[in-house]
Amino acid sequence: MLEVRNLRKEFGDFVAVDDVTFSLPQRGSLAIVGESGSGKTTTARMIAGLETASGGHILVEGEERGPGHKRQRQRQRLRSGERRARGRQIQMVFQDPYSSLDRRQRVGAAVAEAVALHQRLPADRLRARVAELLDMVGLDDRQAAALPKALSGGQRQRAAIARALAAEPQILILDEAVAALDVSIQAQILRLLADIRARTGTALLFITHDLGAVRHISDDMLVMQAGKIVEHGPVATVLADPQHPYTRRLIASVPKPGWIPRRRMDPAAAARLP
């Protein structure tokens, strides 16, 4: 359903994303794993339309999701109708549930606004749809009537997910969406996302540095390093039998019983760091 071909992003002389190609099937779940500077977030932002690509193609159901490259960028800005149509294809949930909601808008109203943007519904059906979405993410009436600041981080992230689902997107991009949450809350949100995928068929593109979360939520994974894909395959295969040295290094860095932290960086590499 989503096809990314030879995607590239340059910031001046710096190549942030270099020749990235992958596809995400309908109802699929793909993780892009990498550390800071790997290009994983830039890749996600290009797919969501928040950054323009320097080259390559992004296709959703076979249609180019321009303005992906220069010729199309010269066209006029997207009209609001087109923008809404794109919103029904792809929605994104960000890392920080504290800054991604309007602090003066009640959570129920934020979800209602997102539903109304995509569907013309009479008031009673709009209310029912909002209640359905809030129920799906596990927020009750009291929380729906609250301002974001009255909610915990996990509840805010639930609100952000409900708002993203209002558009009934085919693809939900989650950019480090559980990284800022407490451990016991991360598990709740991961279970919620798995449940949403099973119930609605929304495909998930999970951007993360957390290999444990990947094991739980994704079927396939890409490992990115310095803008390039270095490994790509089913999650269980990659984690059990990593081929690329960098993937091995990532897995070896995860604490587990018997793990002893080691310095692996040679001094010459350390000297090249900024």
Partner 1 sequence: MSATPPLLRIDGLGIDLPLDGEPRPIVHRADVVIPEGAAVALVGESGSGKSLTARAVLGLLPAGARLHGDVAFAGESVAGMAPERLRRFRAGEVAMVFQDPRAHINPARSVGDFLIEGLTLTRGVRAADAVRKVTGILREVGIADAERRMRQRPHELSGGLLQRVMIAAALAAEPRLLLADEPTTALDVTTQEEVMAIIAEAREARGLALLFITHDLELAAAVCDRIVVMYAGSTVEELPAGHLRERAAHPYTRALLSSRPSVFEAGADLRSIPGRPLSGFEVPDGCAFSDRCPRVRDRCRSERPAPSAAGDSTAACHFPYTAPAEEAGCHA
Residues 6+ apart with CB under 8 A from 84: 117, 118
Measured from the CB atom, the residue of 155 and 170 that comes closer to partner 1 is 155
**190 touching partner 1, by CB under 8 A:** yes
Q: Which amino acid is located at 71 in the chain? A: R
Looking at residues 83 to 142 of the shown chain, list those that interact with partner 1 (rule: CB under 8 A): none
Measured from the CB atom, the residue of 104 and 264 that comes closer to partner 1 is 264
Contact flags string 138-167 toward partner 1, x per CB under 8 A: --------------xxxx------------
* Binder of partner 1 out of 57, 118, 215, 244 (CB under 8 A): 215
Measured from the CB atom, the residue of 91 and 143 that comes closer to partner 1 is 143
Measured from the CB atom, the residue of 123 and 269 that comes closer to partner 1 is 269
The residue range among 58-66, 73-81, 112-120, 176-184 that interacts with partner 1, by the rule CB under 8 A, is: 176-184
Q: Give the bridge partners for 203, in sequence order.
A: 171
**Contact between 3 and 57 (Cβ < 8 Å):** yes
* Measured distance CA(209)–CA(206) in Å, rounded: 10
For tokens 């992958």, what's the residue? 22
CA distances from 49 to 2, 65, 90, 143, 273 (A): 13, 8, 9, 31, 31
Q: Please name the helix (run of DSSP H) or strand (run of DSSP E) that holds residue 134, with its range, or none.
A: helix 123-136
Q: By the criterion CB under 8 A, which residues form the site for partner 1? A: 35-36, 152-155, 182-188, 190-191, 209-213, 215-216, 236, 239-240, 249-265, 267-268, 270-271, 273-274
